[in-house]
Amino acid sequence: MTDSRSYLFTSESVTEGHPDKLCDQVSDAILDAILEKEAQLAAENYVSPSSGLPARVEDVRCAIETFTTTGIVTVMGEVRTQAYVDVDTIVRDVVRDIGYTGSDMGFDAETCAVSNYMHAQSADIAMGVDESYEVQRGEAAADDAYDRIGAGDQGVMFGYACDETSTLMPMPIFLAHRLAERLTEVRKDGTLDYLRPDGKTQVTVRYVDDKPVAVEKILVSTQHAAEVGADQIKADLIEHVITPVLDGEEVAWQDAEVFVNPTGRFVVGGPMGDTGLTGRKIIVDTYGGMGRHGGGAFSGKDCTKVDRSAAYAARWVAKNIVAAGLASRCEVQLAYAIGVARPLSVYVNTFGTATVPENTIERAVAEVFDLRPAAIVDALQLRRPIYRMTSNYGHFGRELPEFTWEATDRVEALKAACE
């Protein structure tokens, strides 16, 4: 008989007013605007007078980066589109919606400077994506829509799922996101009107034999009005944020140690307190550090970029494996080469929790899921303007209609393939 193994695991989240998240939202809002306008132009049969090419949403390419610091938002990146979108207005709308609307917030949507340095996508990159390596070498038919489109970049992507929560997400990141969402909710609905947009949450969970048994530490840091004291903020957050979220979950937390604004003051926040940059919260965006990460960020990238679409697909695969009862924990790795349609490798790791051999699961995945980028785009409907809503509180574990990669629609097919 072996002794039980006990350990702590911690994950963090941030609110939509965090400078990095402001940048993620701007990048994704611009992507959404381009997709929406391109679809409108296509419906109107628009043809560019300069190139003679028709508008087609499937031809859109975006890799948009945003940077912010005191008083300024700068947008950079590469795009290919027939559409014109008003970047200045989009930036100000996002900043205003977050809640940065005056000097008392440290940032103002009406007066901040906006710089736009977007330019056309490299033709070298476009060549391999528009016509894949396989088609160029005659190894695939040019009329096969899924073989024709190559991956928009090289890299490795990971997806993860486990049975710790109803959404099949790890408990620490799931709870951290829910606290961050609630923190924003009580600010925006006026429950705690002295709160400001910038904030962070962090949750530490005790595990025994790899199962969560209790929340041991909770940390909430939130920007606030200068006149409000630390004791009032802590009492209010316990009452209006922490208790409503944690009481709704089936995990012990009443004995947890609670930290609120540990420095004692958080008045200067947002871009005035720290610079922000697109793609700097990749662990917040995914699984809170539980499971590995390939390194690629999501926001501002169109669906031909496998950093985004294949990471969504890997989560889709992993979640269906766990939902099918084939494992209680699952990590899926996908690898791609730029311009090549088919993944270079597919790897399934169940951490010893599989109910059938892992090789059987891998064969079932190959049978049930088409993981070529164009097939992923179609299956998950990734050409819709849904991306700004993904940029806060996690790209995974939020079971909204737009988050198609959260669907457990391949469970029965996986079970059958494993039989």
Q: Rounded to the nearest 5°, which phi and psi values hold at 331?
A: -125, 135
Count of CB atoms situated within 10 Å of the CB of 330: 30
Return the pLDDT at 1: 44
Are 214 and 207 in contact by the 8 Å Cβ rule? The answer is no
Q: Six-digit token pair at 193? A: 């009107």
Are 118 and 65 in contact by the 8 Å Cβ rule? The answer is no
Long-range contacts formed by 99-104: CB under 8 A, 24+ apart = 99/17, 99/187, 99/188, 99/196, 99/197, 100/17, 100/22, 100/197, 100/270, 100/271, 104/225
> What does the alpha-carbon distance between residue 139 and residue 136 come to, in Å, rounded to a whole number?
8
Are 316 and 390 in contact by the 8 Å Cβ rule? The answer is no
Residue-wise pLDDT tens digits, 308-328: 999 999 999 999 999 999 999
Q: Which residue in the block uniquely carries the two structure tokens 């079971």?
A: 399
Single-letter residue type at 30? I
> What does the alpha-carbon distance between residue 368 and residue 384 come to, in Å, rounded to a whole number?
24
Q: Which residue in the block uniquely carries the two structure tokens 């695991």?
A: 9
> What does the alpha-carbon distance between residue 59 and residue 80 come to, in Å, rounded to a whole number?
7
Type and span of the H or E element at 351? none
Are 307 and 297 in contact by the 8 Å Cβ rule? The answer is yes
Q: Which residue in the block uniquely carries the two structure tokens 């996101």?
A: 177
Residue 240: closest CA among 303, 193, 300, 277: 193
> What does the alpha-carbon distance between residue 382 and residue 306 come to, in Å, rounded to a whole number?
12
Return the pLDDT at 151: 86
- Which residue numbers in the chain have pLDDT < 70? 1-3, 122-143
Return the pLDDT at 123: 63
pTM, two decimals, is: 0.94
Longest dimension (CA), the chain: 76
Query: 329-336 and 345-349 as β-strands: parallel, antiparallel, unpaired?
Result: antiparallel
Residue 216: closest CA among 374, 10, 408, 65: 10
